Copies of this chain bind each other. A is one copy, B any other.
Amino acid sequence: MTRPAALIPNAAGLTKSDYQGAPSTLCKGCGHNSVANQIIQVAFELGLKPEDLIKLSGIGCSSKSPTYFLGMSHGFNALHGRMPSVATGALTANHKLRGLAVSGDGDSGSIGLGQFKHVIRRNLRMVYLIENNGVYGLTKGQFSPTAEDGLKLKYAGTNPFPPVDMCAEALISGAGFVARAFAGDAKQLRELLKAALAYHGTAVIDIVSPCVAFNNDDDSQHSYAYGRANEVPLEDIGWVPPREDITLDDHEPGETRIIELHDGSRIALAKIEEGYDPSDRSAALTRIGRAEANGEVITGLLYYEDARPNLTDSLGLGDTALVDLPEERLRPSREALERVMDRH
């Protein structure tokens, strides 16, 4: 399947390998790698021109991943939690470009919560992916704000705080495209990515993306704790067992699937039921609440609406990107200056 795709050019005249990036330096089996692969696949299938898109990210394992896809597109690996503002500037200065942003749950739910919500409020046209693993991967295992209340981790202890639900946050902030996905469910993720890329405002996809270093069944021989000498400072974890990517066959809408993660823990993925009406914001919030109460993670397109103007509309921009304006339109005439001065 992949072989031919890599060779046969798409509508843009590019092969799949043209959408690849540098080799990943993330852990083997990290959910973020699965997401990167699906981005490559989708970009290829859509025949996306690399120069029409910019990649954006913050800081974290997740935020490193734009290096690993679309190597022919420009990109900006910004600061921790501050990607949305960089995206806002870039995509306003050149509103002809599409934005594809990758962030983490720490990046967007902790330090970046304010920017996450404000960019949604402005409805900047961009795809906003959160690769959500409930921990800080890159700094090694602290709880992120999306970690469940009561979650126990070897290093971080027991989490006493309620989780931030990124979809609920997006909904409250006025997002018109809100979805949840699982990194291992390639088909659903690709569908959502395609829809998100076509959306005219901020399209938020919260992707459950397991961290293989988040593997803490203390007594199991498979466990992380086994390999880790308990006196080696955690900053320099000795051993991360390489894992296979978790992949998931397609499953039916309405169905719940139990997925076993690398550490043996389980996650219940409930694919949103057919006939669910994604146009009711209040209902979406309620549906999320119900899934949480059932101990499930609901996946699919939770909310969709496209009436709200995006930021470019609100700013009233014309056809030409600001960065493409010729000097005559940037610098008013000598006469104009005289006229203004006459008023002073």
Interface residues of A (CB under 8 A from B): 110-114, 117-118, 121-122, 145, 160-162, 164-165, 168-169, 172-174, 281-282, 285-286, 289, 308-309, 314
Chain copies in complex: 2
Contact of A314 with B161 in the complex, beta carbons under 8 Å: yes
Question: With a CB–CB cut-off of 8 A, which chain B residues contact A160?
Answer: 309, 314
Q: Given A174-B162, A286-B282, A289-B282: A117 and B121 within 8 A (CB)?
A: no
Docked pose: A165 CA to B121 CA in angstroms: 12
Q: Find A145's partner among B121, B145, B164 (CB 8 Å cutoff).
A: B121
Contact of A121 with B164 in the complex, beta carbons under 8 Å: yes
A–B complex contacts, Cβ < 8 Å, 5 sampled: A110-B118, A113-B114, A118-B145, A122-B161, A285-B285
Contact of A113 with B117 in the complex, beta carbons under 8 Å: yes
Q: Given A113-B114, A113-B118: A162 and B286 within 8 A (CB)?
A: no
Docked pose: A164 CA to B164 CA in angstroms: 17
Closest residue of chain B to A122, judged by CB? B161
Question: With a CB–CB cut-off of 8 A, which chain B residues contact A111?
Answer: 114
Closest residue of chain B to A161, judged by CB? B121
Question: With a CB–CB cut-off of 8 A, which chain B residues contact A162?
Answer: 121, 174, 308
Docked pose: A172 CA to B281 CA in angstroms: 14
